[in-house]
Copies of this chain bind each other. A is one copy, B any other.
């Protein structure tokens, strides 16, 4: 689009009012100018959502806007960071005012809900994609990293697993006896919760975490590789929602395991904590209404194995999450 059009779009839809006093200059100059807080480190993450790859083409602009922030908020949560500033690079096939208005309203509301300010952006013409970069603050000595798991540590996850993968399937495939199943799991797909508040407190007890965006197996695998250790996962302890339970009868065994262990887009947190901190973390989670489930243990096997209640290994032939467009 022409520069004039771009300028007007940014002015019209993305000049939100300033609500953080560390933003010296926001949207509208060559750069934003920001005052970083003294004594803190910056946590920075960037994620791109491509239409048809990361979300189906018929996803509403509200959901696209929400999710484009939630995936990066979840990365900040995985470090225990406090969200602060966002930039938005928005590529649009055309300048549909209706689409932009809905996107902008939802984006603004989500920013507001998390105390984040949009400080810069770029609007370009092309196939729909959204790149959000978020910056947050962490205390230098209190961050959660992938390389901090130790043998004997307990593995926990927030929320339920597999719901987003289920939601993706329910978009087009199933005839459902109970429409609430579709609602619950599609909501999880389009509106994943970022555990930002919980994570900022969990850093007191936990030095190692990752967000489950690519599926439990793939993401826990990153922790194991970075920390040079192995892990056992107790399959029967993996947390499943009511909707997931209800749908289990429609799924074959492989799909069932695949969704639970390798389904992406859940954006729950996987936390690895010393046994001594278990009780404190569980109390914290309860006080914040966060479901927290013990699912495994870090060991020195050098491998990731999934076992059933009899202690037998469950054979897996999963290569992590594959975005739906390629399945």
Partner-B contacts on A (CB < 8 A) = 1-4, 7, 24-25, 28-36, 38, 40-54, 75-76, 78-79, 81, 85, 87-89, 91, 119-122, 124-127, 129, 131, 133, 136, 138, 140, 143, 145-147, 209-211, 214-215, 218, 222, 226, 264, 319-323, 325-326
Q: CA A146 – CA B43 in complex, angstroms?
A: 29
Q: Which residue of B lies closest to A126 (CB)?
A: B50
A52 partner, pick from B47, B119, B126, B319, beta carbons under 8 A: B126
B76 touches A31 (CB 8 A): yes
B53 touches A2 (CB 8 A): no
A44 partner, pick from B32, B52, B81, beta carbons under 8 A: B32
A38 touches B38 (CB 8 A): yes
- Known A53-B124, A124-B53, A126-B53; contact A89-B34, beta-carbon cutoff 8 A: no
List chain B residues, Cβ under 8 A from A49.
124
The count of identical subunits is: 2
A122 touches B47 (CB 8 A): yes
- Known A31-B43, A87-B44; contact A3-B79, beta-carbon cutoff 8 A: no
Q: CA A143 – CA B30 in complex, angstroms?
A: 11
Listed A/B pairs (23) with beta-carbon separation below 8 Å? A1-B326, A2-B323, A3-B214, A4-B320, A24-B140, A25-B145, A31-B76, A31-B79, A35-B42, A36-B42, A44-B119, A44-B120, A46-B88, A47-B122, A48-B89, A50-B125, A89-B89, A89-B131, A89-B133, A125-B326, A126-B129, A127-B129, A129-B129
| Cβ distance A301 to chain B, nearest Cβ, rounded Å | 21
Q: CA A85 – CA B135 in complex, angstroms?
A: 12
B321 touches A215 (CB 8 A): no
Q: CA A78 – CA B25 in complex, angstroms?
A: 14
Q: Which residue of B lies closest to A146 (CB)?
A: B29
A121 touches B46 (CB 8 A): yes
List chain B residues, Cβ under 8 A from A33.
41-44, 79, 138, 143
Q: CA A201 – CA B290 in complex, angstroms?
A: 52
- Starting from the known contacts A2-B326, A3-B214, A36-B42, 10 additional A-B residue pairs (CB-CB under 8 Å) come to A25-B145, A28-B146, A30-B146, A30-B211, A33-B43, A48-B124, A87-B133, A89-B133, A125-B325, A131-B131
B264 touches A3 (CB 8 A): yes
List chain B residues, Cβ under 8 A from A85.
44
Most buried by B among A3, A81, A147, A210: A3
Most buried by B among A2, A28, A131, A322: A131
Q: CA A43 – CA B35 in complex, angstroms?
A: 9
List chain B residues, Cβ under 8 A from A222.
7
Q: CA A52 – CA B42 in complex, angstroms?
A: 35
Q: Which residue of B lies closest to A42 (CB)?
A: B34
10 closest A-B pairs (Cβ-Cβ)? Answer: A50-B126, A3-B214, A36-B36, A30-B78, A31-B43, A30-B75, A34-B42, A127-B127, A89-B131, A31-B45
